[in-house]
Amino acid sequence: MTDYYQLLGVDRAADNSQIKAAYRKLALRYHPDRNPGDREAEEKFKAINEAYAVLSDPQKRSRYDRYGSVDEGAQFTGDIFDIFASVFGGGFAGTGVRTPAAGRGRAGENIEAEVSITLEQAREGAEIEVELDRMTACDRCHGDRAEPGSGGKKTCPTCSGIGQVRAQAQSFFGTVMTAQVCPECRGQGEVITTPCGKCMGSGRMRSKDKVTVNLPRGIDGGYRLRVPRQGNAGVDGGPAGDLYLYIDLEPHEQFTRDGDDLYYELRVGLAQAALGSSFQVPTMDGPEIIDLPAGTQPGTEFRLRGKGMPRLRQVGMGDQLVSVKVEVPLGLSAKAKRLLHEYAEEAGEQIVERETLLGKLKGIFGKRGKKQSSDGDDLAAGEENAASTAG
């Protein structure tokens, strides 16, 4: 992505006067009126103006220094010729370039798209291709809107190419001169007499394109990435809009991401956890060996430093955490069962079968029933003896 400081040829610590001086020099060199028909110079002029618009504004410059081009708050929206005028003055005296028409060009619209990326692409900051359905300059008139070779444009007779018309108005303070956008050319300074037969004079056409985007290292799902000048094409030389990409991170078959950390589940057997064992586990940088000590409990985590994801626009890497899951074996052979019974006896673990436990429970409840019945007979006998004595 474009570095605004490098574009203007100034140091990151340059003050406002140095930035302005660098802009003046480059803006005069690449102004469209000094490079007629040179599309490369025109794009360079637009980029220079955008760089100056950001770096000359303290708040935008601060955000740009912190976040770079991913921060949508650092973007420039406006007319590049207004920036030029604010630096050189309305008449551009001594510059050798003319005053542009008041409504020169209309910026293209911003567009949005969704893209799914893999964990590997997010980690390395890969270059990806995004398919877009957008408005591009007509391939017949190249955005000129007039039929090629027809001389289909002429200077607006109403404003004489200025793009504005002046009018007098009376106010409390006397006569006031006002400037308004020319109603005939709508500020363009030119009118079309023979519209392009392909785009019908709109200067644009819908097309399917592929755009190459460089992902920032460590980007995660849920982020919105701004790609400057990859939206719809502008009209009459206006700048293209921006592309906003909504990032979706695809699930990974081995790792789960949590911020800058990656999680991996290591499945081990009972004997491996009890006796200890060494394991080879995958990482994004290749296999690593970890040692499980004897008596490792389920849920124990081992941390592999620096094996996670890059910290987005920061220095350093996250970690990979390996979580131990102890699996209970199924479908044991007769020998395995015998050995486990021997282990249980050695460890003092009592293995009780269901029938044995049910028999014990029946015996307990049977004894309680007999005791209650015996107590009831004694009470009745006592009552009978008492009645006999009374008689």
Q: What are phi and psi of 308, to 5 degrees?
A: -95, -140
Q: What are phi and psi of 104, to 5 degrees?
A: -60, 115
192 has which bridge partners?
Answer: 153
- What count of other Cβ atoms lies within 10 Å of the Cβ of residue 159? 24
Is 378 exposed, middle or buried, given 0-12, 13-18 or 19+ CB atoms closer than 10 A? exposed
Query: Contact, 219 vs 67, CB < 8 A?
Result: no
pLDDT at 215: 96
- Quote the CA–CA distance of 281 and 266 in Å, as a whole number: 8
Strand 301-304, strand 320-327: pairing: antiparallel
User: Who contacts 254 (Cβ-Cβ below 8 Å, separation ≥6)?
Assistant: 264, 282
Q: Which one-letter DSSP state was computed for residue 196?
A: -
Q: What are phi and psi of 236, to 5 degrees?
A: 55, 45
- Which tokens sit at 316? 């350093």
Query: Contact, 107 vs 260, CB < 8 A?
Result: no
pLDDT, tens only, 264-278: 999 999 999 999 999
Residue numbers in the chain where pLDDT is lower than 50: 70-78, 90-103, 173, 378-391
Q: Which one-letter DSSP state was computed for residue 339?
A: H
pLDDT at 355: 75
Query: Contact, 101 vs 165, CB < 8 A?
Result: no
- Quote the CA–CA distance of 102 and 53 in Å, as a whole number: 19
Residue 167: helix, strand or coil by DSSP? strand
pLDDT at 197: 92
pLDDT at 66: 77
pLDDT at 304: 98
CA distances from 344 to 146, 335, 337, 350 (A): 92, 14, 10, 7
- CA Rg value for the chain: 40
Strand 243-249, strand 224-227: pairing: antiparallel
pLDDT at 151: 78
Predicted TM-score (pTM) of this structure: 0.60
- What count of other Cβ atoms lies within 10 Å of the Cβ of residue 58? 9
